[in-house]
Amino acid sequence: MAQTGTIYLVGAGPGDPDLLTIRAARLIERAGIIVHDGLVDPAILALAPPDAELISVAKQRSKHTMQQEDINALLVSIARSGEDVVRLKGGDPFVFGRGGEEAEAARAAGIPVEVVPGISAANGAAAAAQIALTHRDASSIVSFVAGQCKGLKDQDWAGLAGKGRTLVIYMGVKTAPQIAEKLMEDGLAPDMPVAVIENGTRPEMRVLRGLLAGLPELVENEKVVSPALIVIGEVTARDDITLAMTAQEVAR
């Protein structure tokens, strides 16, 4: 009987191959089978051996190549055949990556599973944009939410954003109007600074800034596409403040 393989849930980071962990890079470089998301940068997949089998299970809004239950079954099936499998995910497997579901499926099937954390999209994109998610003068609390969850309008986001807080919204491009409306209905000021980070850490990265009330127009007018993060809070304007202060000092 074939020995059971191991499922490796590996975080590929926010995009830039240089931001892979050493453990992630080593697993990719020796992988025989890689099951990967659509957001994994091609340069990262290029690190795999030439004869590695690459299986895409890319997900898009309302259009999945493979349902999550089928992905779970695929991973278990590969491991039961005696093969190790690298499940490669953008960002970190346990931050909106459904890694928890896949780990549970592996454990339920008696399959060894290892989780290799990655730099999350929020941490990587914010760092690339030089937006500090926490700052002693602006924010001591950070919250992550998914912007395309079912029942968005009925969720309780009260207290997640505002003075002294930073809110990072994943997968919020398509629902930007509902997000802005909901936050303002929950009491957030329309003039709260926001930033939209598109393709964080990649060469084509864009950082767009505005105010909460104008978020829908910002996303529409600039034709923002995924992957993109929405960051809401005073920290998104800190570097602008610093640049302005520096310009004033130079003028003196």
Catalytic residue numbers read 37, 59
Q: Which of 170, 237, 184 shows the shortest CA–CA distance to 213?
A: 184
- Strands (DSSP E) contained in the chain are 7-11, 33-36, 53-56, 59-60, 63-64, 85-89, 113-116, 139-146, 164-170, 193-198, 206-211, 228-232
Cα distances (Å, whole numbers) of residue 189 to 161, 186, 194? 10, 9, 11
Helix pair angle (99-108, 68-80), 10° resolution: 40
